[in-house]
Structure 1
Amino acid sequence: MSLHLTSLQLDSRSSLMYDAIVVGARCAGSPTAMLLARAGHRVLLLDRASFPSDTLSTHVVHQPGVAALARWGLLDRVRASGCPPVDRVVYEVADIRITGGARGLAGQRAWYAPRRHVLDAVLVESAVAAGVEFRGGCTVRNLLRDATGRVSGVEFRHRGRTHREHAALVIGADGMRSTVARLCDAPYTVRHPRLTCAYYTYWDSVGTDMELYERQGGWVATVPTHGGASLVLAYFPQRRFDDIRADSGPAYAEQIRATAPGLAARLVGKRPLERLRGSGDQRNLFRRPAGPGWALVGDAAHHKDSITARGITDAFTQAETLVRHAGPRLVGSPPGLDRALRAYERECESLLAPGYRATLSAARLHLSEQRLSVLRAVSSDPELTSIYLDVFAGITTAEALYVPRLFTRL
């Protein structure tokens, strides 16, 4: 996929006013910029990378994210890229096997797992098509502030030159290690220790389902992506990270064999399609997501362990939430924008907290007898299976499982 982007001619002396400057152009930043531009705002989008380019990812877009792509008119482009829909999940743990599909949301029942060099390029291209001015290869060095201390723009380097641009709102969509968050002194509001480390690569002809395997101290997942390949991930307790990264290939293979022996048997005789990638830096946090003249979206505002693969979907949700609150207030008085940003902060906390708790629970890699009892009851009831997979996808919360019919089975 080639990416043809409108070039913005920048001058280091320029003080041109934008309604918003978005720093970071992946799955949080590009949708935010696109939605603001579609609402009639003038938006500058900056990123260190050029597109298409890859990044570490679990790839999965759950149904709330798929529904967002459909609302934005982008789902057909993701489908046309050759990314297959995933309609069925197979989940094996202990003596339990759960198979089925989610009830879905807004008519979307399938998961998708696009390669990030495909998905992110689609998002950037769509932002540019909406009128966003994009510049890749930029490094933000500082934030500009007015006489009251309010953030009023960014200073960044591009091709060896320093540029300064001003805007009513600077939005950090630049990931877990966000430069914008650091420069804003955005405080952490919630933090928990790292719980897992994860490694993945791609294998050919693994299957068409999303497969999840769990045991005490281990988690393995596989999901089909482009070109007949599947992403196969292995999770380990964080305490093992130093040993695993010293010899990650054998550790990855052994975790698949121990946690998902049937999957391991299907990989015998095959070779991975790409190098093994991984990370032990899976932080669990919320930052304050907004302040005077600034806001954070995506992993910059909230990051959690990748074991539930909620990052892309949550980024889409945050983008829509920020634009809904702040978009109408970008042209107007600062107090009105500040009230909108506080409303964004409150809504994000309520939207993201249930998924955060569920992710921490899964990332502890611990199987309690109570949880196994619930899973046994779910596995014997197709309707409960669909509800459970809705919970997994973030369509509903775990409370939806606790219906009278389930209690009669426990």
Structure 2
Amino acid sequence: MPYDYDVLIVGAGPAGTACALGLAGSGLRVGLLDKAQFPRDKVCGDAIPSPALKALTRLNPAWAAELRELTAGYRTDMRTSRLVSPAGTGVSVHWQAPAFNSPRLQFDDALLTLVRRHTATDIRENSAVKTVTADAQGVTVQLADGASLTARLVVGCDGAHSAVARALAPAPLDRTRHCAAVRAYFEEVDDVPATTSDFLFLGRYRAGYCWVFPVGAGRFNVGFGMLSSDVARQKLDLKLVLQELLATHPHLVPRFTRARQLTPIQGFGLPLGGSARPLTGPRALLCGDAAALIDPLQGHGIDTAVISGLLAADHAARCCAADAFGPEALAPYAAAVQRRLGRDLARRYRLMRLLARAPWLVEGAFRAAQWPPLRRVLVRAMA
């Protein structure tokens, strides 16, 4: 059959743009579509971990440098994490690897700008997906506006509620491997150095934390998240929980006395990595949140999204070169994600559950971290 594209990427966030960048120069016809018009906001913690930047640097150092230029004025380079235990014990961790916080409104738009500048990708915004079907001949993506697109292979990078995953690699929601979170933007927050992110762990709400992240231009991403199974069991409204924490937590009250809330509190979901969630389907690869690759211990996922997007680009090119799209041809992608990310995510999920069941262990770790040699050991275990 005649195809519109060799590879059609659904979702233009970090996973989708990384996949498009990874396919630059491949000679393949690549399409990248998203339901939104960029720049668009994405409810998130806005942390850009160092592995994401390292992966882009390995792909093309000039592109990584250009990304920093594009986000100048819309980011804060991070040097320190301040952690507070449920009992109030504090630990500061200083990082050497480059990382920054940046609102997704600007960060995702910067990544898409790199795709526009450096690839021949056909970008389609305002293109919501209605249905996705696949057979031995190819993949057909029906858009909400009535348009129909065909491809040899589809790459699902369309987030936690992925239309590609629902259609071609469905998996039931497991609340024990899913986090719910809320966030809002503030300004005039006190005692938060520009290069420092704050994490507060809470005895009442285990398997989660509250955060205060500077994101540039005097703004702060402030949020709270925890396991969805615990949210359901305790019948919590996370928006109310965050408001309560800001009004009552002894480490937050003095910081937010003068603070001004800039946006409503909004919620989002985080499908945690380390599970047996399918990463492939008929003529389909899944990346990022669509593949449930959120770090269970720290809650970030932009690094795993970028890495999985680049792995998908590599395997999509191989499949197209061999004209092979069956399960045996797609299986190496799942194996590569498992080697690069899956094993570590599974280990971190087990550690997260252990810490949630044993609050005494959390306090013991914080006390041990007061001694610099043990702090270095604990940081390596959690980083």
8 Å contact kept, 1:287–1:300: no
SS at match of 1:225: strand
**Corresponding residue for residue 272 of structure 1:** 261
**Corresponding residue for residue 302 of structure 1:** 292
What is the alpha-carbon distance in structure 1 between the residues aligned to residue 267 and residue 131 of structure 2? 30
1:157 aligned to which of 132, 143, 149: 143
1:22-80 per-position Cα deviation (integer Å, ceiling 9, x unaligned):
11111111111221124332200111111000011111111111212333423423542
- Code of the aligned partner of 2:83: Y
What is the alpha-carbon distance in structure 2 between the residues aligned to residue 292 and residue 278 of structure 1? 32
SS at match of 1:348: helix
What is the alpha-carbon distance in structure 1 between the residues aligned to residue 49 and residue 115 of structure 2? 22
**Corresponding residue for residue 166 of structure 2:** 182
**Corresponding residue for residue 370 of structure 1:** 361
Q: How many residues align?
A: 362
Runs of 4+ in 1 over 6 A off after TM superposition: none
8 Å contact kept, 1:322–1:341: no
SS at match of 1:89: strand
What is the alpha-carbon distance in structure 1 between the residues aligned to residue 349 and residue 186 of structure 2? 26
- Code of the aligned partner of 2:152: A
What are the residue-to-residue correspondences of 1:24-43 with 2, within 5 Å?
A: 24-43=11-30
Identity %: 23
- Code of the aligned partner of 1:153: V
TM-score by length of 1: 0.78
TM-score by length of 2: 0.83
1:371-407 per-position Cα deviation (integer Å, ceiling 9, x unaligned):
43233222311x54345445444xxxxxxxxxxxxxx
What are the residue-to-residue correspondences of 1:5-404 with 2, within 5 Å?
A: 15-71=2-58, 72=60, 73-74=63-64, 75-93=67-85, 94-103=87-96, 109-129=97-117, 130-145=119-134, 149-150=135-136, 152-157=138-143, 160-165=145-150, 167-184=151-168, 186-188=169-171, 191-193=174-176, 196-206=179-189, 207=192, 208=194, 209-218=196-205, 219-235=209-225, 237-239=230-232, 242-244=235-237, 248-249=239-240, 251-258=241-248, 260-279=249-268, 281-284=269-272, 286-304=276-294, 308-334=298-324, 338-350=327-339, 351-359=341-349, 361-362=351-352, 365-381=356-372, 383-393=373-383
What is the alpha-carbon distance in structure 2 between the residues aligned to residue 151 and residue 48 of structure 1? 26
**Corresponding residue for residue 407 of structure 1:** none
8 Å contact kept, 2:19–2:309: yes
Structure 1 portions without partners, runs of 5+: 1-13, 104-108, 394-410
8 Å contact kept, 1:201–1:276: yes
Please say which structure displays the higher CA radius of gyration. Answer: 1
What is the alpha-carbon distance in structure 1 between the residues aligned to residue 137 and residue 292 of structure 2? 21
- Code of the aligned partner of 2:154: V
Structure 2 portions without partners, runs of 5+: none
- Code of the aligned partner of 2:115: A
